[in-house]
Amino acid sequence: MPIATWFRVIFLGLLAFGLAGCMLQSGTPLFGEAEARLLLADYPNLEAYERNNGGWKKSDERVSFSPEASHYLMTPDDAKMQLYFVPLEGPWWILQAAEASGATYVLVKAEPKQLLIFPLDCKTLEDSGKYEDAIDFTDSSCAIKGGADKLALFKSFTADLTEPSTKLVSEP
């Protein structure tokens, strides 16, 4: 199933960064069913590509998932992860990967035939010096503070993004 390929890429990336405490997180999910949309319905036959030596390499990883209400449920191994695509502004979307232990976030730029995935790594966010009011930085981890204006915060990230780490291409 081609769409499953990119879920595996995103999941592995989020898991690796999440375990290392390097990606933007929250103790509880910031978004729920009311805010989420099934973005992938507009992108048939997705194939995942990972950044590789300045270019792109097609991924061949697989995982199972299914749409549920307005989010996707992914079940790698014994874990359950809910993926929420939340519209942000223009082509930008927030991807929230929620588990029992909290949630991790990346940004997605939806273009006509592809989705570009941008990580929100803690070091880059901290080094920018712009987010101390909204994000707690502790060692190599970072978490959104309670009471932060979450949509304004995610919108502000779009101005500082450089390169996507993954792209999902809708192929014939």
pLDDT 10s digits, 29-47:
999 999 999 998 888 878 8
pLDDT band, residue 134 (cuts 50/70/90): very high
Per-position DSSP letters for 81-132, written without gaps between them? EEEEEEEEETTEEEEEEEETTEEEEEEEEE-SSEEEEEE-BHHHHHHHT--T
pLDDT band, residue 160 (cuts 50/70/90): confident
- Least Cα distance to 38 among 69, 3, 65, 80 occurs for 69
Q: Which domain holds residue 56?
A: 2-170
Q: How far apart are CA 83 and CA 103, in angstroms?
A: 9
Number of structural domains (the chain) is: 1
At 40 the three-state DSSP class reads helix
